[in-house]
A and B are shown apart, each in its own frame.
Chain A
Amino acid sequence: MDINKTLRHGLAKPVLHLLALLPAFWLGWLVLSNDLGANPIERVNRFTGDWALYMLLIALAVTPAKLLSGWKSLPRFRRMLGLYSFFYASLHLTSYLVLDHQLHWGRIIEDITKRPYIMVGLACVIILTMLAVTSPKAAIRKLGAKAWQKLHKLVYAAGCLGVIHYYLLVKADIRQPLLMAGILLLLFGIRFWHHRRAASSPPKKTSVDRPGHAV
């Protein structure tokens, strides 16, 4: 079976959409069945925040996965996964503003100006929003490929900010945020290692050995 062919199959994207929406369906089910536990707002905050971060890490894993596996059709899912991170981050922000603070702007502004984890989280959401807004192909044409690419490098910053935001809000058990940080570092490491290898080997050989694998 040709993996790349499967990845380009017409059903590949619909299936991935369905998978990426499963957490949202699950959350909707918990809300409707009133099964969010003792602290429902906290639960919704956590759940949406967790999935925003998971989706971001999955989106960031696409290129390293392509580099390691050679499945060159993988990147066609990258934008979509990034947009799902934005989707869950938007739910997360909405949950914070509407459910948790009931749009009580005095409290919200105090939070934003005084709490580092809120500032970091907000910066992350702002980046994800900029990337989502400029994700259509028309935006690439408008901005020019170079500027667009530069802007979209901010996704790495978003990943770091997301993990820092998570780390800052836990009380003592930092295993989970450390795991996320570890995954992020690993993904960066794979890119870095590949860059260096590509840079140190003669360009001709690279192009023969690994066609179409420019990073």
Chain B
Amino acid sequence: GKALEYRKTGYSVDEPLTDRELATQYNNFYEFTTSKEAVVAEARDFNTSPWTVKVSGLADKTGTYDLADLIDYNALEERIYRFRCVETWSMIVPWIGVPLADVVKKLGPQPGAKYVRFQTLVDEEQMPGLNRINIPWPYQEGLRMDEAMNALPLLTVGMYGEILPNQNGAPIRLIVPWKYGFKSIKSIVGLHFTDQEPKTTWNILAPNEYGFYANVNPDVSHPRWSQSSERRLGAGLFDGREDTLFMNGYADEVVSLYDGMDLKKHY
């Protein structure tokens, strides 16, 4: 992919990066296919240029933005984050983007805006997985406003020094490192400010399994499997699992967001 200009930051992890090849060839992107190994091929011809993002709802600067008008490409930064999938695999990736909080501020959310909802592109011509599986498209995710304004969420346009590969959510995706990967929505075309908790796709599909918050939490099991440990991509056949960290290791930065909340209830 095309190389990006960016600056390094102090956001890093004390462990080696996942090989680029692994992080870009093992992806969940059901709009293309449910096979993680096959997404690369299915998304090869995905056309992401031009790309616009529609901003709507309770904000002053609603409208349709070209990607370059939404993201300040002169302010790109690299952040090395842990990424933990709800399916219990994980990786460590150098993402490139801008803080979501900066973009949200720029869009002028109104006092009534309590949540922000994101939507993925739906394009049957380009996304062969849409008709193969019974999911109410478009894929939707959301954050509470204070979560969105936290310093960690990154509106991401690149990884490993280059623009995002299609299978990783080109041209623009969200990365929310303390939440399970499905919150980190891909190929975003819509951003909506609202006073209601948005319906989120996995929560609609299986409300007892996937909550709105989806914070990484080793003490709260998925009903069908444990979340207390994970397999790092690239680990060998005999390397076993790693312990999963509370809030994926970002508790210091985010735990105050959930003061007084029962995290077993708000999973």
Instruction: List the A residue with the shortest CB-CB distance to B135.
Output: A172
Residues of B contacting A114 in the complex (Cβ-Cβ under 8 angstroms): 221, 226
Asked whether any CB of chain A lies closer than 8 Å to the CB of B205, the reply is: yes
A31–B234 CB distance below 8 A: no
Residues of B contacting A116 in the complex (Cβ-Cβ under 8 angstroms): 224
A5→B238 CA distance, assembly (Å): 47
Asked whether any CB of chain A lies closer than 8 Å to the CB of B22, the reply is: yes
Q: How many residues belonging to B are interface residues under a CB distance threshold of 8 Å?
A: 29
Asked whether any CB of chain B lies closer than 8 Å to the CB of A93, the reply is: no
Asked whether any CB of chain B lies closer than 8 Å to the CB of A168, the reply is: yes
B24-43 contacts to A, CB under 8 A, are 25-26, 30, 34, 36-37
Residue in B206, B228, B236, B241 whose beta carbon sits within 8 Å of that of A100 in the complex: B241
A102→B239 CA distance, assembly (Å): 8
B224–A38 CB distance below 8 A: no
B165-218 contacts to A, CB under 8 A, are 205-206
A74-102 contacts to B, CB under 8 A, are 99-102
Residue in B26, B36, B224, B238 whose beta carbon sits within 8 Å of that of A117 in the complex: B224
Report the interface size class on chain A: 20 to 34
Asked whether any CB of chain A lies closer than 8 Å to the CB of B229, the reply is: yes
B226–A107 CB distance below 8 A: yes
A102→B221 CA distance, assembly (Å): 20
Asked whether any CB of chain B lies closer than 8 Å to the CB of A37, the reply is: yes
A-contact bits for B132-157, CB 8 A (1 contact / 0 none): 11010000000000000000000000
A104→B226 CA distance, assembly (Å): 13
Distance in Å: Cβ of B192 to nearest Cβ of chain A: 24
B78-132 contacts to A, CB under 8 A, are 87, 89, 132
**Known contacts A37-B37, A114-B221, A115-B226; is-contact A172 B25 (Cβ 8 Å):** no
A42–B231 CB distance below 8 A: yes
Residue in B26, B221, B224, B229 whose beta carbon sits within 8 Å of that of A39 in the complex: B26
Asked whether any CB of chain A lies closer than 8 Å to the CB of B251, the reply is: no
**6 interchain pairs, CB-CB under 8 A:** A39-B89, A104-B240, A107-B226, A117-B224, A172-B133, A172-B205
Chain B residues within 8 Å of A, Cβ to Cβ? 22, 25-26, 30, 34, 36-37, 87, 89, 132-133, 135, 205-206, 221, 224-226, 228-229, 231, 233-238, 240-241
